[in-house]
Amino acid sequence: MSHYQKPDGRQKLVVIGNGMGSVRFLEQLFAGGQCPFQVTVLSEEDCPGYNRIQLSKLLAGSVDLEGIHLKSATWYQQQGIKLLMGEDYRAIQIDRSLKRVVTQGGETFDYDRLVLATGSLPNQIPVPGADLQGVLAFRSLADVDLMLEAGQGQAVVIGGGLLGLECGSGLAKRGMLVTIVDNMPIPMARQLDQHAGHLLRKELERRGIAFRSSATLKSYECVDGRVCGVQVDGEYLPTSLVVVTAGVRPNIQLMQEAGLKCDRGVLVNDRLQTSDPDIFTVGECAQMQLTSGQETQSLLFGLVAPVYRHAEIVAASLLGDQSQTFTPVPIPTNLKVDGINLFSSGEFNPSCFVEKSDEQSDEISRDEVITLDASDAGIYRKLVLQNNRIKGVLLYGDVSDGLWYQTLMESGTDISAIRQQLIFGQRFLAA
């Protein structure tokens, strides 16, 4: 069945996906009141868009289901948005010649403009047993429901990154005995240095979470088709639940089959426009290649701040403002575990430089590190400077100055005049 919307003079806009980027895009599109498009949103999930960042808090019981929904079904109705939800409305084909989207249920939707917000897919680890019952990802409400159904037995989380720690903490708070298996020596190795990583691990161990660091997953073991344990470097860990948090990849099969230019993600320009000028993207499915001088930077987007900026740019473009473009900036990382405060942004590990010989000039631009270590009080601060400008920030325990440091870093402010007080934070400047 083909859908032809009421001929009221407005163009047809179809949005595929209803995650956080999609919802922000819709908010921006309707912010001014009258929208020049008839909007249809196709969502394979069976509920309105929700805050995926809060899934760990939902798992831990810190928020309820209502607390993570971004907009109610009533809001979509009030805007005149046609929101179609459920597996039957999963988009399976884009016919660019007819400008039509085909869904799993066999319905078709014509478009003048198309916005792709298909997000990402969780990576799987290619070891025996990966398809067993009880081996899950952590990406959706459905995943949380399955974890909660597992009860209060033993759980293994594969991956010690941000998502793995949040998941493990949530399961532990629900009463499960959690072991985190990570191939890195410290948790959150991409966002922390060794000292902060050890502080974080110590705190999580105090909460009952066990770690197997610098470890390699070998296989999943099963009984009657359900996972019962994992093999890790010769050690057997019994479990009734395995949650894999081994990163994500852009969900672009739909775009590839439609003939859009793709690499790891669907390729877009700095206005999030694909190789088809009538098709735009928002969020994790996009890949942008920016050229500065002789260097080309290839960007994928896994954090909410750039995704929201995508939404603003695409909405503005569709409303007639072609001037807005995407510019990358350092994005801070915040761990969402109750009672643990952590802020990380920029290049917080200093660069290594080769010492020059005596015959050469010793004038060399080198990174400088300022630290404040009050580990006994659970506080650690580290700033990396280059040419009297902040290059990276790492805060553990007290993160109250995080946004201030972030602003100084983004603006490239010369901190020479406040260098002596800088590590103590903004409130000490007047002292």
Spelled out in words, what is the top-level CATH class assigned to the domain 341-428? alpha beta
- Distance, C-alpha 30 to centroid of its chain: 25
Query: Half-sphere exposure of 40 toward its Cβ, with a 13 Å CA cutoff?
Result: 26
Output the tens digit of pLDDT for each of the chain's 431 residues: 444 444 567 899 999 999 999 999 999 999 988 899 999 999 999 999 999 999 998 998 989 988 999 999 999 999 999 999 999 999 999 999 999 999 999 999 999 999 999 999 999 899 999 899 999 999 999 999 999 988 789 999 999 999 999 999 999 999 999 999 999 999 999 899 999 999 999 999 999 999 999 999 999 999 998 999 999 998 999 999 999 999 999 999 999 999 999 999 999 999 999 999 999 999 999 999 887 666 778 899 988 999 999 999 999 999 999 999 998 888 888 877 778 899 999 988 776 543 333 444 444 458 899 999 999 999 999 999 999 999 999 999 999 999 999 999 999 999 999 999 999 999 888 65
pLDDT per position as a tens digit, 305-329: 999 999 999 999 999 999 999 988 8
**341-428 has the same fold as 135-246:** no
Which CATH number fits the domain 10-121+249-318, given the four candidates 3.50.50.60, 3.40.50.1360, 3.30.70.260, 1.10.3210.10? 3.50.50.60
pLDDT per position as a tens digit, 12-70: 999 999 999 999 999 999 998 889 999 999 999 999 999 999 999 899 898 998 899 99
Ordered by start, the domain boundaries in the chain are: 10-121+249-318, 135-246, 341-428
The answer to whether 324 and 271 have CB atoms below 8 angstroms apart is yes
What is the rounded CA–CA span in Å between residue 367 and residue 389? 10
pTM for this entry: 0.86
In the CATH scheme, what is the homologous superfamily, with its name and number, of domain 135-246? Answer: FAD/NAD(P)-binding domain (3.50.50.60)
What is the rounded CA–CA span in Å between residue 268 and residue 286? 7
DSSP 167-195: HHHHHHHTT-EEEEE-SSSSTTTTT--HH
pLDDT per position as a tens digit, 387-427: 999 999 999 999 999 999 999 999 999 999 999 999 999 98
